[in-house]
Amino acid sequence: MSSALPRPELRLRIIVPVLNEGASLSARLAALQGLRAQGAELVVVDGGSVDDSWARARGWADHLLCSAPSRAQQMNTGALASHLQPAKALLFLHADTALPPNALERIEHALQERHWGRFDVRLDAAGRMFRLIETMMNWRSRYSGIATGDQAIFVRADAFSALGGFPDQALMEDIELSKRLSKLSRPACLRDRVTTSARKWQQNGLLRTVLLMWRLRLAYFAGANPQRLALQYGYRAAPEPAGAAIAILAKAPIPGWAKTRLIPALGAAGAARAQRRFCLQTLHCATQAQMGEITLWCAPDRLSRVVRALQLRLGVQRQSQPQGDIGERMRAAAQAHFACAGAPPLLIIGSDCAVLAPGHLQEAARRLLTHDVCLIPAEDGGYVLIGLRKMIPELFQGLAWSTSAVLAQTLERCARLSASVAQLPALWDIDEPADWQRWQALHKAETALETPCP
């Protein structure tokens, strides 16, 4: 019996924690593609974004993961995930920080002699005061041996793993990690500069921000609770997690059967390939949300070869969709779920909302703690998600399905039944060639990558 060969180590894994970064994220991740070409791996870890950060990151990253909205937990998720290929070194990079051109070479050279290190920092704003602030940051770090996240901390992977990663705390996780790593070696303080955003100084005022950061740092060294300090810094308390099952209604990616309205633009085979990708992305989104059982409701049937392959790859349950309109098929999924006593809330989604993110699913589940129904409207007048706290069969009967009236009719039906409703911001489906072009514009990076994440 032969054993599997060990996987070769990557030169470097870059971990980027993100949370509602918006349009700027694409350019930041695009700037890292040169390092990927040199053998570095890019892992983006989302903290539950409800903007388009998840969708934007997909085209640029080797792996797109989700964790609780805590920078420490996000970075640990990207660094310590067991299913990822081993790496020799780890680089923790804030989403608003840009590396110097020779970063990989400088990191590898520095880690030959030290266990960890960081770069000097430059703020991306003009003015003498910003030059003074960055000079003081670099001098303080070089003198104290303490690095901050803005300086792009890098570390040997084995040393990071031996220390158990970042401490699970809401603020000062970089300070605490520096203290622990300093017991192994002094940091390599590189004079090459990363460029980071000056927005916190610009938004809150230079002097006020400097004084606040010094006060919080002194309080931390005096033993103050990091969670309390995080609230003083301006972070919001992390929302409580909520559980829910997820039902995904999807057509098997069969040419001539799936995404037929895209056939004029893509051809039957191309539309089927698009549907396969949409299914994979939706399943990836649902599994990364980590909320509960996932069931893939399939058409034409659950025994489709492609559907079986998807199910085996991701380990979800699968069922066959019944005959009837989309309302009847959603009703069947809801009825099957709520037939079990004590069933948790249920989220029902399709497979063609490529901008749907784990954060949307998590937020919908939280809304169902206090509402009977949660809806994510679609821009075309329907909805991309309906969440139920209990079975309400009337929501799936007698509506003008596949028209722009669906959302309005659903809301009217909820009002008539006295069912409380929460609505989240609208998203959009990929149904028509114009939707496909919109999605391609958002994901233009994928055309240049050999192995984009699902």
**Contacts with 406 (C-beta within 8 Å, 6 or more apart), sequence order:** 381, 382, 383, 399, 400
φ, ψ (nearest 5 deg) of residue 42: -110, 120
Percent of the chain scored above 90 by pLDDT?
Answer: 75
* CA 104 to chain CA centroid, nearest Å: 25
pTM higher than the cut 0.85: yes
Instruction: Give the start-to-end residue ranges of the domains of the chain.
Output: 12-214, 245-444
Alpha helices, DSSP H, located in 244-262:
none
DSSP assigned state of 366: H
pLDDT band, very low/low/confident/very high, at 314 (cuts 50, 70, 90):
low
SS (H, E, C) 7-70: CCCECEEEEEEECCCCCHHHHHHHCCHHHHHCCEEEEEEECCCCCCHHHHHHCCCCEEEECCCC
For residue 3, pLDDT beyond 60 = no
Higher pLDDT, 361 or 2: 361
Task: Say how far apart CA 377 and CA 131 lie, in whole Å.
Answer: 47
Structure token digits, residue 430? 């990929």
Q: What is the DSSP string of 376-401?
A: EEBTTSSEEEEEESS--GGGGSS--T
Does residue 56 contact residue 38 with C-beta atoms inside 8 Å?
A: no
Estimate the share of the chain in helix, then strand, then coil, as percent rounded to the nearest 5: 45, 20, 40
Q: Is 297 helix (H, G, I), strand (E, B) or coil?
A: strand
Q: What is the pLDDT of residues 402-450, one digit of tens each?
A: 899 999 999 999 999 999 999 999 999 999 999 999 988 887 644 443 3
Q: What is the pLDDT of residues 321-360, one digit of tens each?
A: 999 999 999 999 999 999 998 999 999 999 999 899 999 9
Amino acid (one-letter) located at 423: Q
For residue 452, pLDDT beyond 50 = no
Does residue 240 contact residue 341 with C-beta atoms inside 8 Å?
A: no
- Upper half-sphere CA count for residue 409 (Cβ side, 13 Å): 17
State the pLDDT at residue 241. Answer: 82
**Contacts with 116 (C-beta within 8 Å, 6 or more apart), sequence order:** 153, 154, 155, 156, 159, 181, 184, 185, 187, 188
Q: Which CATH class is domain 245-444?
A: alpha beta
- Upper half-sphere CA count for residue 139 (Cβ side, 13 Å): 6
Average pLDDT of every residue of the chain:
91
Task: Say how far apart CA 301 and CA 251 lie, in whole Å.
Answer: 9
Architecture of domain 12-214: Alpha-Beta Complex (3.90)
Asked whether this chain's domains 12-214 and 245-444 adopt the same fold, the reply is yes
Q: What is the DSSP string of 420-452?
A: -EEEPPPB----SHHHHHHHHHHTGGGGG-SS-
Task: Say how far apart CA 179 and CA 175 lie, in whole Å.
Answer: 6
* CA 186 to chain CA centroid, nearest Å: 33
State the pLDDT at residue 234. Answer: 84
- Kindly calculate the radius of gyration of the chain based on its CA atoms and give it in whole angstroms: 24
